[in-house]
Homo-oligomer: A and B are copies of this chain.
Amino acid sequence: MEFTQTQKEYFMKEAIFEANRAKTMGEVPIGCVVVDKQGKIIGRGHNLREHSQDATMHAEMLAIQEANEMLKSWRLVDASLFVTLEPCPMCAGAIINSRIKNVYFGAHDPKAGVTGTLMNLVTDSRFNHQANVEAGILEQHCAQLLTSFFREIRKKRKKNRKKEIKD
């Protein structure tokens, strides 16, 4: 791994900034940045599934696509990806396909995380590329974003249900 702890936290904060952009749109707050080896952010993305009604619009996919466009290359050799939540199979697959070198994630995902939790696709030597993985960068902050988002949703639903009963 090439970045200092301070640098890793700096980039994760940029991913959190992206997650907050998703949150303000009512989307599940997940954010991502792709960084080149000089430490320049070359791709940013936040979850846009509901607004786009496109199942592939995860934060990582959008950040990888932007980085591909920036470099005019599908190969993101030497790049690092910072994401607030552990990647799902689709995003782990896109990391393999784009040859990203390092993956740093915040919160673990016990439901769909496949860079360490349910399995580890990006270190599986049967694929033609492997990435390094470091988990738990600003984990509490990243997890908190999600838990408070879902708590708010449950609260609103409860309120609406009570209102319906009264009406």
Stretch in A10-18, A66-74, A140-148, A152-160 with 4+ CB within 8 Å of B: A66-74
How far does the Cβ of A100 sit from chain B's closest Cβ, in whole Å? 9
Interface size class of A (residues with CB under 8 A): 35 or more
**How many copies of this chain does one complex carry?**
2
Is the Cβ of A112 less than 8 Å from the Cβ of B127? Answer: yes
Check B54 against A74 for contact (C-beta < 8 Å). Answer: yes
- Residues on B with C-beta less than 8 A from A56 are 56, 61, 64-65, 68, 94, 97-98
- Does A90 belong to the interface (CB within 8 Å)? yes
From 74 to 102 in chain A, residues with beta carbon under 8 angstroms from any chain B beta carbon are 74-76, 88-94, 96-99
Tell me which residues across on chain B come within 8 A of A90, comparing CB atoms: 89-94, 96-97
Task: Tell whether A163 is near chain B: CB-to-CB under 8 Å.
Answer: no
With a 10 A CB-CB cut-off, give which of A65, A69, A72, A89 has the most chain B CB atoms. Answer: A89
Question: How many whole Å from A153's CB to the nearest CB in chain B?
Answer: 17
